[in-house]
Homo-oligomer: A and B are copies of this chain.
Amino acid sequence: MRSAAVVGTGLIGTSIALALRGRGVTTYLLDRDPETARTAAGLGAGLAAVPRTPVDLAILAVPPQHVARALHEHQHLNLAHDFTDAASVKAKPQAEAAALGCDLSRYVGGHPMAGREQSGPLAARGDLFQGRPWVLTPAEGAGRRALDRTMELAELCGARPVVMGHEQHDRAVALISHTPHVVASLLAARLLHGDEAELQLAGQGLRDVTRIAGGDAELWTDIIGSNASAVADVLAEIVLDLRVVVEALADLGTGAPERPRISREHLTTALVRGVQGRGRIPAGVVSGPAAAVSGLRLSGAAVGG
């Protein structure tokens, strides 16, 4: 890859551009707010200009609900030979792009699994994706060249390409990212009902469990709203689990003599399952560019890397 264009120079777009510049790729920066693109350029992320001839790959680093329109517009303008995006939801933008009549042989969905609480180009870091998974969700019919270039993009950013179906990706991020975000937010929102003296007792545990709730609410509304069904499914299961615990605690609290032992067991079971579930989180960041491929059938596109 010799040239790239980043559309949307926020945290993610600018971080990608910084990584590409560091690997010698000529990188163009576009944003609907020209000032934001100039800020990114000032950080050394590339040129705040529209390329005169199509670049090898355009990265649409815009919120999920703008991906399909951005793809349609920039394919029409012939910005690049191939396209990818960086949105944290994959099925809905893919379906919208199909509905708009985009050329899907020249597009492979992407999701670099990294972020920060801060947003905007000034929070960008060229090493943001180092060692992190970068999910690729090529649809049936995606072209080999588009897949190869998207995979090369991930590797140039120091990330670990992981190929998945978009439905599986969306279920995965509902489970490991979007649902935890909602739950952490509702937990943090409860603190609005505590008084000052009570909150003074807070420790590192509360800080950790609510940290992700500090993220930008509008951005996360877009993300979670674009993956609404998958998130609703997991949350509905949590509501059921919570009701079991609330009932057990109500029994224990009133000291209802009929079933304190069973109530206690329900509580313990919930906590033991939490310990077990936590044990399933991989221990650390796996680094290296080896692609993990999870059994996806690709039409006209083999997996390189």
Measured CB to CB, the residues of A under 8 A from B are 113-115, 132-133, 135, 162, 164, 168, 171-173, 175-177, 179-194, 197-203, 205-215, 217-218, 220-221, 224-225, 228-229, 231-232, 234-239, 241-243, 245-246, 249-254, 264, 267-268, 270-282, 286, 292, 294
Contact = CB atoms under 8 A, between A and B. Distances in A.
B206 A209 contact: no
Contacts of A208: 208-209, 211-212
Given A237-B190, A245-B186, A113 B274 contact: no
Given A175-B191, A210-B278, A213-B275, 10 more contacts: A113-B201, A171-B198, A185-B270, A186-B245, A189-B241, A191-B281, A192-B276, A213-B271, A229-B254, A231-B249
A104 B71 CA distance: 73
Contact of A268 (B179, B207, B211, B218): B218
A279 B192 CA distance: 9
Copies of chain A in the complex: 2
Contacts of A200: 133, 162, 282, 286, 292
Contact of A235 (B203, B209, B249, B268): B249
